[in-house]
Amino acid sequence: MPAVHIPSRDELAFAVNTARTCLPSPPRLAYYSGLGLLAVFDVLEWPVTVAIGIGAVVAQRAARRVQTRS
């Protein structure tokens, strides 16, 4: 039988916390999901959807920079 590593509770908690740091906040996740659905159902063309998403990320980063300078 092959040896199978079963992660411990601490390893799982570390993996979940690491994944959470990579994900956007719940409101932003809902926003990006909505954009994705608009593209999937052809309400918006995918290049427009990508441009809107990138614009939102750039605006968020700029706002964060302004807040840290104040």
From residue 12, how far is each of 2, 44, 49 by CA, in Å?
Answer: 22, 38, 34
Percent of the chain with pLDDT over 90: 79
Gap between the terminal Cα atoms of the chain? 60
Both tokens assigned to 7: 């992660």
> Rounded to an integer, what is the distance from CA 33 to the centroid of its chain?
9
Instruction: Tell me the three state secondary structure of residue 62.
Output: helix
CA distances from 43 to 10, 48, 54, 55 (A): 44, 10, 18, 18
pTM of the predicted protein model: 0.67
**pLDDT at 68 (0 to 100):** 86
The predicted-structure confidence for 10-38, as pLDDT tens digits, reads as follows 999 999 999 989 888 899 999 999 999 99
